[in-house]
Structure 1
Amino acid sequence: MLSHFPGCLFQDALQEMYNQKGVFPGEQFRPARRPWTLLNFLSWATVLLSPLFSFVLGVFASGSPLLILTFLGFVGAASFGVRRLIGVTEIEKGSSYGNQEFKKKE
């Protein structure tokens, strides 16, 4: 790996060691699991998603085929739109900017 900055030699050595051994040097640290993170997520999910579930149950309990089809169409269109927006942000081909091997081939 080539480096243009003299301060990066230590980082290059760390990268080489990681590539060879699969771990960084020094003591491994694993933080303890905290159950309140899960409890916090579950409580907020319950508070925020319960009106949505209530609405969905109300739509299906109404028994109106038009209302149910409209709701399912809206959900399908929203899903399609979100997938389309995510697809726009995907990178199909990476840039060769800064790639020393690419510059050597030219």
Structure 2
Amino acid sequence: MPVARPDSGPAPHLEVKLMSLSPDEFRRSLAFFAPETATKAPADSYRLGGGDKSLRISLEEMEPFSPGGLIVLPRCRVTLAFSGYGADERAELLARFDRTFFRGGG
């Protein structure tokens, strides 16, 4: 039976999004999502908040997507790891994240 470390809390709640944007576009939009609270961590990872509640956002650049070979779209996998947030708070933050990163389209 695994033994929990005393400093380990509950596992974070993860949300993974495949987004059609470049890392630079992501960073520019992140400034609007969390203008004063995002701190850069190593390797394209950002941490918001602290204490009992935190949100870690990790960015992984992927191969571009080329539907039908007509255009080339950048792609990133974005992982949001929520620690200490209840379901309603997570839903509110995710809705704000989606509004901030919405880029229009058909």
Q: Provide TM-score, normalisation by structure 2.
A: 0.19
Look at both structures and tell me which one has the larger radius of gyration over its CA atoms. 1
Q: Which has the higher contact order (CA 8 A, sep 6+)?
A: 2
More strand by share: 2
Q: Provide TM-score, normalisation by structure 1.
A: 0.19
More helix by share: 1
